[in-house]
Structure 1
Amino acid sequence: MRVRDAVEADGGRLAALADVPTEVMADVVHDRTVRVAESDGEIDAFVGFEADEETVHVTHLFGAEAACEHLLDEPIRFAEREAMPVEILLPEPETDIVAVAENVGFEESDPGPWFDGHRTRRFRLENPTTETE
């Protein structure tokens, strides 16, 4: 599996994985740090994240479970360098991605906000370390 920065040309595949319009993913690629995992030249998963003054926020995590688990190392490494926790909001009932987050060490914290009429769940990794690799 190869991990690389997303480029604008990846927008169509990222949109298909996230089930959103291509234009939305073009904005995400420009506005956030987005990394993709690919094998045999095909994008299997992607992660998008950004940071504020206190926390690294995983804003997008879509694709094959094993690739998503591997991709979470990207925001975790960034958080380690900045001594920040990492948060991810997941829409209910995203059980596959919840399992990925928990496998990497995230723990469910407060309930997340409602988004587009759906409840979200907030997961947090207080003291990130990439030793889970």
Structure 2
Amino acid sequence: MHVRDATAGDTAAVAGLAAADIDAARLIRDRTVQVAVADDGDDEDVIGFLSYETGRDAVHITRIAGDAEAIEALLDPPQTFATRETLPVEVVRPANGTDDITAALVAASFESAGPGPVFAGEPTTRYRWEP
């Protein structure tokens, strides 16, 4: 597996991996989006994606999907950028904290930083990684 910048050609794959209905083309245009691609000789086999943006005080992961191995690889670009800029990386996840993405974040040294915003009436937990 390798990680690369997403392109317009990845729109359908990103939309298919997303847990929610998203405008994948807009996401790829408006955010930094990385995709994890299987090393099977076909650069079209997208198996995960991560989007992020940089704010004044943190790098914010806005969308993430894939299996634990893909997520681990996808976390490297925002963490590398955050280290260079001396910024933390933050992401919010459902408050129940039992999904594979949350487990992968914890395995990558993200720590709970308290409650996050409420989305569609559902509480979230903010996870933070410090360089």
TM-score by length of 2: 0.89
After TM superposition, list the pairs within 5 Å mapping 1:36-55 onto structure 2.
36-39=35-38, 40=40, 41=42, 42-55=45-58
Secondary structure of 2:36 counterpart? strand
State the number of aligned residues: 126
Q: Which residue of 1 aligns with 2:10?
A: 10
1-structure distance, mates of 2:124, 2:8: 28
Runs of 4+ more than 6 Å apart = none
Structure 1 gaps, min length 5: 129-133
2:124 is matched with 120
**TM-score between the two structures when normalised by the length of structure 1:** 0.88
**CA–CA separation in structure 2 for the residues paired with 1:17 and 1:92:** 21
SS of the residue 1:81 aligns to: helix
- Please state if 1:25 is matched with 2:28: no
Structure 1 residue 55, shift from structure 2 partner = 0.4
For 1:98, give the aligned amino acid.
T
In terms of fraction of residues, the more helix-rich structure is: 1
CA distance in 2, matches of 1:60, 1:97: 11
3-state secondary structure, aligned to 2:117: strand
1:66-116 deviations in whole A, cap 9, x for unaligned? 111111011000000100011011124452111100111100011011112
Query: In structure 2, which of residues 64, 75, 84 is the aligned counterpart of residue 61 of structure 1?
Result: 64
Q: Larger strand proportion, structure 1 or 2?
A: 1
Which amino acid in structure 1 is aligned with residue 129 of structure 2?
L
